[in-house]
A and B are shown apart, each in its own frame.
Chain A
Amino acid sequence: MSLGTAIAQALLLVLGAPLVRGTIALLKARLQRRRGASIWRPYADLFKLFRKEELVPPTSSFIFRAAPAVLFAATVCAAAFIPVLRPSALLAARGDFFLLIYLLALARFFLSLGALDGGSAFGGMGASREALVSSLAEAPLLLGLAAVAILARRADLAGMVAWTLGQNVFDISAVHILAFTALAMVTLAETGRMPVDNPTTHLELTMIHEGMVLEYSGPSLALVEWAAAVKLHLMLALLIALFCPWGMAVGNAGWGIAPAALLYILKLGILMGVVSVIESAVAKLRMYLVPDFLGVASAVSALAVIFTVLVKR
């Protein structure tokens, strides 16, 4: 039973990811009074790309071909750590939140390597920018998760979520609000959303993620895009699991899963709505202002860790 739900959770995160992307795109379009594409569009895109021929730059080495596979594998592996419907996950017993962070770092590293190996100027530029953003975003991500881990006195995500589930909604502490703020800012930066990167443009001098994937085509591009969607879904699910897990199915009874899934979809919908409002309302930051944005996230997450000492237990 529990293995079944664990696999179902991981599959939900991976297979539902393009739907999350499509829904955010549709919400954005509606907010901007456009008609927007169907929410199933990303699946059609992936399907189309998987059947297309792959073109590889003549200067590239095997790393260019291997990078999308490593990226996708590492991201899916990270997704298997996230509790979604119950406070447990497929790989929950095999690693703590550090492993999650470094699986994501591994994915980013190989994406940057692949972009550099592609040999185009845009790829190199995107990779260097990605390196800047991710090195600055790693500290707040680590500290934000560490703050919650210190409160829960557990280092594995499932244990942290189970601890939060045991708390009263009203007893949510300063640490949680600060850590949530930091992680939400990191989520926007890590997944290449609006104030840091524009996910909808190609060939703009300020782009980060789209610059890196410019040389990819066919199945490789499909894997890269899918991995990016999984990462977005994973970060949103992580926010929900850590800071608003109430409603998750506890115990072994099977009937708790359905309301848990409905509640999860509701919470995810609210988060997607917030993301699309932010994307429609905020202008993209200049590249030199991105370190300031992440500096704020760092300060907030450092405060969250400091507050763990001050919060009475």
Chain B
Amino acid sequence: MGLVGIAGGKVLSSFSVFLFLTILLLAVARRISTSVLLFSLQSAVITAEVLATAIQEKLAEAWVVGLLVLVIKVVAIPRAFFVLARRLKTVRDVKASTTPTQSVFIAALMIYLSYAAVHSYGQAMHVPDDALAAAVALILTGAFLMVSRTKAIMQMLGLLVLENGIFLAALITTFGMPLVIEIGIFFDILMGLLLMGIFTFRISDTFDHLDAAKLRRLRG
């Protein structure tokens, strides 16, 4: 234990700051590739938290889950996004409906809100405040990204950020779900990504763009 244990505990309590940083940077990112890289970075931080839990609680399953997160969310999904963006030949801009300054202030507000929301719960349940707040903030910003980015590919990314938040919340409150369920969730994500990829291909084939805001004019 010793130093490794101390470092593990510190990772759990203080790495959420890096999650906040990725949230703020995601709010200002202008390019799809930057956003995807930030998502990859965010998943890497979550991997570190999973491994820290594995060390702290001596859970063998957590090592497997950490490996899965590393392989799927840090490597595979970002690669898939890059391939998708290249195949779709889309422009690099994320097409946000809010200016970056507005986005970053909204994101900061969400982080503060999530702290206010989890404060009493965290004290009652004896879980680290920061990490739980980070999970809620990830869920909120994921939803915010889905609403404010009009491009279909960015809405997929928003959903994945939201999923990261749910995963982190489960990890913090119950030290992760059972391994079978965890694997099922990862499979769901991959299938969802596949379906959404097909959808975006169809959207771009039919309409020659990926802008979800323009789809309403073609109704009826």
Interface, chain A (partner B; CB < 8 A): 170, 172-174, 177-178, 181, 291-292, 295-296, 299-300, 302-303, 306, 310
Contacts and interface: CB of A to CB of B under 8 A. Distances in A.
A292 B99 contact: yes
Q: Size range of the interface on B?
A: 20 to 34
Contacts of B101: 291-292, 295-296
Nearest to A311: B130
Given A170-B6, A172-B14, A178-B17, A303 B112 contact: yes
B183 interface: no
B194 to A, nearest CB: 34
A295 B99 CA distance: 11
Interface stretch (B20-28, B144-152, B159-167): B20-28
Contact of B100 (A173, A296, A302): A296
Most B-side CB within 10 Å, residue of A174, A178, A181, A300: A174
Contacts of B24: 296, 299-300, 303
A170 B21 contact: no
Interface of B: 6-7, 10, 14, 16-18, 20-21, 24-25, 28, 99-101, 104-105, 107-108, 111-112, 115, 129-130
B108 A173 contact: no
Counting from the closest, the 8 A-B pairs by CB-CB distance are: A295-B101, A174-B17, A292-B100, A299-B108, A299-B104, A177-B17, A170-B10, A296-B104
Nearest to B105: A299
A181 B21 contact: yes
Contacts of B107: 299
A4 B21 CA distance: 41
Given A174-B16, A178-B17, A303-B24, 9 more contacts: A172-B14, A177-B17, A181-B21, A295-B100, A295-B104, A296-B25, A299-B105, A300-B21, A310-B115
Nearest to B107: A299
